[in-house]
Amino acid sequence: MYVWVKIVSVLLLTSLMGTWSLQASDRAFNLGNIATSQQVKGWDIDVRPDGVGAPIGSGSVFDGEEVFAEQCASCHGDFGEGVDRWPELVGGEGTLNTHDPLKTTGSYWPYASTMFDYIYRAMPFGVSQSLSYDETYQIVAYLLYMNDIIDDDFVLSDQNIGLIKMPNQDGFLLPDPRPDASTIDGNPCMKNCDVPVKIIGKARDIDVTPED
């Protein structure tokens, strides 16, 4: 799974060999303070796909329905369908290769860990980091259930969040294959180039530009 990491590393490393030699004794400036484990614990809130960093806790689908209704539904709808311009969280299966793709936690997000990480750090919008760990597990469990990823009796926890297989987990391509569509020989056409010059669309006709 992480073969591409090595590829990227090798490519980049060759140009940086000279600058990268950081050793334990090499503390040149004596600036800053050693962080205590308590200080780190308070700020180190991220959760990785393999579950590393997931705080101890758990949450059921059943409890999640209630928390979601209280904390999330005013923007995302009772069933994650989205209210006004706020994002839909459920549905969209089979739409990614259509003209109208719907990217939700169910159809697009590759890892359940990302849902926990993001909801805990950034939601509810404007009241971030106010949910408890258990409430966060509950909300993620409810979303996974609504997206048909887990059954209604599932209890999500720090022990199993790294094991959830998301439908679109294998939907991402690495490494970056660009540049992909251009002359890279440095000799673009200068005279009598064969390019289409017919006007096929005008922004003025679309008429969505803000007016002062």
Partner 1 sequence: MKFNRRNLIKSFAALGSVGFSTRVLAQDKPNPNNLPPNLPEWTPDLGAGVDENPYGSPSQFEREVIRRNVPWLTASSQSSVNFTPLQDLEGIITPNGLCFERHHGGVAEINPTDYRLMINGLVDREMIFSLEDLKRFPQVNKFYFLECAANGGMEWKGAQLNGCQYTFGMVHNVQYTGVKLSDLLRETGLKPKAKWVLAEGSDTSGMTRSIPIEKILGDCLIAWAMNGEALRPEQGYPARLVVPGWEGNMWVKWIRRLEFGDKPYMTREETSKYTDLLTDGKARMFTWVMEAKSVITSPSPEKPIHHKGIQQLRGLAWSGNGKIKRVDVSLDGGKNWTTAQLHAPIMAKSLVRFTLPFEWRGEELLIQSRAMDETGYVQPYIQDLQKIRGKNSIYHNNSIATWLVSKSGKVDNVRLG
* Residue 210, both tokens: 């803000």
In the bound complex, what is the minimum distance in angstroms from residue 62's beta carbon to partner 1?
Answer: 26
Q: 79: how many CB neighbours lie within 10 A of its CB? A: 15
In DSSP terms, which residues pair with 58 in a beta bridge?
157
| Distance (Å, whole) CA 190 – CA 212 | 39
State which residue, 60 or 133, has the beta carbon closest to partner 1: 133
Q: Radius of gyration of the chain from Cα atoms?
A: 24
In the bound complex, what is the minimum distance in angstroms from residue 37's beta carbon to partner 1?
Answer: 8
State which residue, 34 or 163, has the beta carbon closest to partner 1: 34
What is the H or E stretch that residue 76 is in? helix 73-76
State which residue, 4 or 66, has the beta carbon closest to partner 1: 4
In the bound complex, what is the minimum distance in angstroms from residue 61's beta carbon to partner 1?
Answer: 22
State which residue, 20 or 56, has the beta carbon closest to partner 1: 20
* Residue 30, both tokens: 């004596």
Distance separating the N- and C-terminal Cα atoms of the chain: 51
In the bound complex, what is the minimum distance in angstroms from residue 7's beta carbon to partner 1?
Answer: 11
* Residue that has been written with the tokens 């990614």 in this structure: 96
